[in-house]
Chain A
Amino acid sequence: MLENVHWIPLLPLIASLVILLGSRDNTDKSRLPLLGVATMGWCLLQSLWIVGQFLLGNVEAPFYRSIEWFRFGGMGTSVGVMIDGTAAFMLVVVTLVSFLVQVYSLGYMHGDPRFKRYFAYLSFFTASMLGLVVTSSLLVLFACWELVGLSSYLLIGFWFEKEAPAYAGKKAFITTKLGDLGFFVGLLLLFAYTGTFDLTLLPAHFHMGLNHIPAWLPTAVGLLLLCGAAGKSAQVPLFIWLPDAMEGPTPVSALIHAATMVAAGVYLVARTYFIYDAAPLAMEAVAWLGLLTALLAATMALVAYDIKRVLAFSTVSQLGFMMLGLGVGGYTSGLFHLTTHGFFKALLFLCAGSVIHSVHTNDMRQMGGLSKKMPETFITMMIGTLAIAGFPFLSGWCSKEAILHDVYRHSPLMWGAALGTAALTSFYMFRLVFLTFLGSSRDDQRWERACESPGVMTIPLWILALLSIVSGLLLEYNEAFAKVVRYGTETARAGMEGTHAGAQAPAAWLAWAAFGVFAAGLAGAWRLYGTGDMRLAEALKRAFRPIFDALEERYGFDRFFLALVRASDALARALHWFDDHIIDAVFVDGWGLATRSLAELQRFFDDFFVDGAVDAVGAITHDAGGVLSRLMRGQLQEYLLFAALAISLFATFIMAR
C-alpha cells in the first residue's frame, strides 16, 4: 500500500478538522477525540507495514510519486511523495509516538475545559509532521515545517490564560522563525541554481562531475539549511525556546519536543545529505555545532530543578548528539539515535507527566520518595533513564555507541568531548530519578496525595519502556536498520558494522570507555542524591557558585536574544521616527505644501489677472455702454443730427474725391 502513502498525512488533517468543527462541545464529554486516536492508529499500522516492506527487502528503490503543482513560464515545481528507508522509519516513529501520546492524553487532559481542541491540534500537528516526512519537494517540506511550527505554538500556549505559556509559545515561534529565515534563503539559492525542489532530482546536481552549479553553492546552501535545522532542533544558539516550551502540557512535550518536531531538523539534514556530502565544510559545521550543543545543554541540565526542564535540556543535548553523528558522516548512526531517542525520550516525558499529574508540581525539590507511591511510573522511568544513560544493550546504548564509534573515527578530540557529554548525561538523568523517586519525601502533603496514574496513562509507558529496551538490538539484528537506512555513496559509511564482532580493537575499547562514563555518572548521582541527603550537593553548589549561576542563567543566551529583540525594536522605532518626521514631512507633507503653495499662487494669479481681465472687459463694456447710452437721450433731433452728420461726411468724402 505504498500507493496510498499520501493518505498518511492527509487523514489526520481531515480528522483534526472534523474534531475542530464537528461539535461545539469543547469539554471531555465529547467523543470526537477518539476519532483522532483511531486515525492515528490506522496511520501507525500503515507505517509499520511500510517499514516491514522495506525490512523484507521488497522495495528496491525509493518509492516516488509526484504530480505537477504549478508552472511559471519555464520554471515549475511538483508535489509528491518520496519514501526511502529513512522516511519509512521516521513514519513509524512519528505515528507510534503520536498514537501513544494521544492515548495518554485521554487520561492526562481529563477535565480540561478545552479537551476537544487539544486533540484537534494534536492531529493537525501530526498531519503536518507526516507531510514533512513523506514529501518529495523541499518547498512542500518547508510549508509543512512552518505548519509544524504553528502547531507547536498553538500547543505550547495551550493554556494561554496564563502568562508563561503564552510567552513561551511566542518565544518558540519567533526563535524558530529566525532559523527559518536561513532555511528559506537556502531554498531560494537552491532553486535559483538548480531550478528544482524535487529531492529525487537534486542529488544529480550535486554529484561531482556536473559543474553547472557554482563551487560555493553546496556550502552556502548547507549552512543556510543548517540555520533552519538549528532553529527547529534547538541547537546553539537557537535552543532558548525549548526549555520554556515546557509550559505546554506534558504529552505535548513528549510528542513534539522529544520525538518528532525537534527531530525535523535532523531529518532535514538527513534528507538533504547529498548537499553536505558535496560540502565538507558544511558537514564539519554540522558536527561541531552538534557537539557544542550537546555539551552546553548537558551542563545546563545539571542545575535544573524543574523535572521537565531537565528533560528539555536533555533533549537539546541528545539532538546535538544526532547532529554530531550526521556531521561526522554517520548517516545511519545519527538516524538510529533519532529513532531510539524518540522512544525513550517520549517515555521519560510521559513518566514525568505522570508524576506531575500525581503531585501537581514540576519542582523536584518538592518531590522525593515517590517510588513507593507510584511503582509503575518509577520502573518505567528507570528503564528510560538507563536507556538514555547508556546501559549496555539497551536501545540508547546501541545508538550512542554507533555515534561514538563514528565520531572517534573522525576525530578523537571530538570523541573525548562527546564522551564527557555522555558522562554528564548519565549523571543528570540519575540525579533526576533519585531526586524524584528515592529518599524521603521533601513535601509530605504532596506525597500523601500522590497515587499511581490510571491505566490509560501507564499502558503507553509500558509500551515505550519495552521499545526502549528492545528496539536497539532488534534494529541491529542482521543490520536491518543499516540496510534500510543508509546513504548510498562511498564517503558516508554506516557506522554500525564496527561495533560488533569482527571490529577492530578500538571498538571494544570504545565500548568499555562508554560503560565507564555511564557508571561514573551513576555513581556521582548516587553519591550526591541517592540517599536523599542533600548536604554534599549543597556544599558543592556553594563552592562553585559562579559556575552554578552561569549555568542557571543558561550562559546568558536568553538575555542575549532579549537584548537583540530590544535592539531591533529600538531600530524599528528609530526608523518609524525617521519615516514619520523626515520622509513623510519632507517628501509627503513637503510635497503637499509645495503643491498647495503653487496652487495658491495660481489661484492668486487666476483671481487677479485672469478674472481681473475678464471683469475688466465686462466693466469696460458696461461703463462704455453706460456712457454711450447717455448719448441716446431719446431726442429725435439728435438722432437726425447724427445720421445727417454721418451721411454728409461719407457723401462728401465720396463726392470730393
Chain B
Amino acid sequence: MRLFAFYSLSAVVLLSALGVVLLKNTLRSALLLGLCLAGVAGIYGSLGADYLFASQILVYVSGIAVLVLFVVLLAGRASELRLRQVNDQWLAALFICAVTFWGMRRYVIEAGAALPAGSPQPATAPIGRLMLGDYALPFEVVSLILIAAVVGAVVFSKSRRGKA
C-alpha cells in the first residue's frame, strides 16, 4: 500500500517536473510547477513529516507557485506561448546531468539500505521547541532574510515612470 502511494506520488512529481522544464507554454509550465510542489507535499506526507506537508502546501503551493503564476501572466505575451523554450545548450546540460548522476549514484546505492525505524511521530511541537530553543538564531536570521527580500522586491518593483 505504501509502496503504491509512493510510486504514484513520485510519478506525479517527476512527470510534472518534466513538464515544467520541457513545455513550450510557460503558463502551463507554471501550473505544472504548482502540481509538482503539491506532489512533493504528498511525499512529505508519505514520510510522516506532518508539519512539512502542511507548510509545503501553505508556502510553496499557495505562495510561490501562485507568485510564479502571477509573474508569468504579468510578464509575458500571448505570442510567446508557442515559442521554443529550450535553448541551444541542452546537449551540454544533458551531459552535465549525466555526469552528476554518475557521481551521485554511489551514495544513493550505499545509503539506500537503511530501513525505517519505528513509526513517525507528530513533529509540530518538537519543531516549535527547536525553533525557539536551539535554533532561535537561524530562525531570526531567516526572518531577516525574508524582510530583506520583501524590501528588495518592493524596491525593484518600482518603475521609473511611476509607481508599479
A contacts B directly (C-beta below 8 A): yes
Chain B residues near A632 (CB, 8 Å)? none
Contact with B along A624-657 (1 / 0, CB 8 A): 0000000000000110010011001101110110
Complex CA distance for A655 and B92, rounded to whole angstroms: 21
- CB-CB nearest in chain B for A653: B103
> Provided the pairs A649-B99, A652-B99 are in contact, do residues A641 and B92 lie with their beta carbons within 8 angstroms?
yes
Question: Contact: B87 with A656, CB < 8 Å?
Answer: no
Chain B residues within 8 Å of A644, by CB = 93, 96
Q: Map CB proximity to B onto A489-513 as digits: 1 under 8 Å, 0 otherwise.
A: 0000000000000000000000000
Residue contact B89 to A655, C-beta cutoff 8 Å: no
Q: Is B156 an interface residue (CB 8 A)?
A: no
Contact A655 B99 (CB under 8 A): no
Q: Does B104 contact A (CB under 8 A)?
A: yes
For residue A159, give the distance in angstroms from its CB to the closest CB of chain B.
111
A641 touches B103 (CB 8 A): no
Residues on the A chain within 8 Å of B89, using CB: 637-638, 641
Known: A648-B100, A649-B99. A655 touches B93 (CB 8 A): no
What is the CA–CA distance of A650 and B107 in the complex, to the nearest angstrom?
16
| B102 is an interface residue with CB less than 8 A from chain A | yes
Bitwise, B94-109 to A at CB < 8 A (1) or not (0) is 0010011011101100
Contact status A641-B96, CB under 8 Å? yes
Residues of A within 8 A of B106 (CB): 655-656
B87, B92, B93, B100: the one contacting A651 at CB < 8 Å is: B100
Interface size on B, residues (CB 8 A): 12
A656/B92 in contact, CB under 8 A: no
Q: Residue among B89, B96, B107 with the most chain A CB within 10 A?
A: B96
A648 and B99 within 8 A (CB): yes
Of B89, B103, B106, most buried by chain A (CB within 10 Å of CB) is B103
Nearest CB in chain B to that of A654: its residue: B103
Contact B96–A645 (Cβ < 8 Å): yes
How many interface residues does chain A have, given as a range?
Answer: 10 to 19
Residues of A within 8 A of B104 (CB): 655
Q: Is the interface of B mostly helix, strand, loop or mixed?
A: helix
Are B96 and A637 in contact, with the CB atoms below 8 A?
A: no
Establish whether residues A652 and B92, one from each chain, have CB atoms under 8 Å apart when the complex forms: no
The CA-CA distance from A547 to B47 in the complex, in Å, is 158
Are B103 and A655 neighbours in the complex by a CB distance under 8 Å?
yes
Of residues 93 through 132 on chain B, the ones whose CB sits less than 8 Å from some CB of chain A are 93, 96, 99-100, 102-104, 106-107
Question: Contacts of A645 on B, CB cut-off 8 Å?
Answer: 92, 96
Chain B residues with Cβ below 8 Å from A641 are: 89, 92-93, 96
B120 to A: closest C-beta gap in Å = 30
Q: Given the complex of chains A and B, what is the CA–CA distance between A649 and B103 in angstroms?
A: 9
On whether the beta carbons of A652 and B87 are closer than 8 Å, the reply is no
Contact with A along B66-99 (1 / 0, CB 8 A): 0000000000000000000001010011001001
Chain A 113-144 interface mask (CB, 8 Å, partner B; 1/0) = 00000000000000000000000000000000
Q: Shortest distance in angstroms between A644's beta carbon and chain B's nearest beta carbon?
A: 5
Q: Determine the distance from Cα of A358 to Cα of B100 in the docked complex, in whole angstroms.
A: 140
Q: How far is the CB of B74 from chain A (nearest CB, A)?
A: 20
The residue on B at minimum CB distance from A638 is B89
Q: Could you say which of B87, B99, B102 contacts A637, with CB atoms under 8 Å apart?
A: B87
Closest to A648 in B: B100
B11 to chain A minimum Cβ distance, whole angstroms, is 26
* Contact A652–B100 (Cβ < 8 Å): yes
Considering the complex, which residues of chain A in the window 541-594 have a beta carbon less than 8 Å from any beta carbon of chain B? none
A652 touches B93 (CB 8 A): no
Q: Contact between B103 and A656 (Cβ–Cβ < 8 Å)?
A: yes
A364 to B: closest C-beta gap in Å: 132
Residues of A within 8 A of B93 (CB): 641, 644
Q: Distance (Å) between the CB of A437 and the closest chain B CB? A: 138
Q: How far is the CA of A645 from the CA of B104 in the complex (A)?
A: 15
A residues less than 8 Å from B102 (CB atoms)? 652, 656
**B103 interface neighbour in A637, A638, A651, Cβ under 8 Å:** A651
Q: Which residues of B contact A651 (CB under 8 A)?
A: 100, 103
A652 surroundings in chain B (CB, below 8 A): 99-100, 102-103
Hey, which chain A residues are within 8 Å of B100, CB to CB?
Answer: 648, 651-652
Shortest Cβ gap from A278 to chain B (Å): 119
Q: Within the assembled complex, what's the spacing in Å between the Cα atoms of A651 and B107?
A: 12
Measured between alpha carbons, how far is A638 from B87 in the docked complex, in Å? 10
Query: Nearest Cβ in chain B — how far from A532, in angstroms?
Result: 143
CB distance from A15 to the nearest CB of B (A): 112
Taking CB atoms, residues of chain B closer than 8 Å to A656 are: 102-103, 106
Chain B residues positioned under 8 Å from A648 (CB to CB): 96, 99-100, 103
Nearest Cβ on chain A to B91's Cβ, whole angstroms: 11
6 A-B pairs whose Cβ atoms sit less than 8 Å apart in the complex: A637-B89, A644-B96, A645-B96, A655-B103, A655-B104, A656-B106
Other than the given A644-B96, A645-B96, A655-B103, 8 more pairs (CB < 8 A) read A637-B87, A637-B89, A648-B96, A648-B100, A649-B99, A652-B99, A655-B104, A655-B107
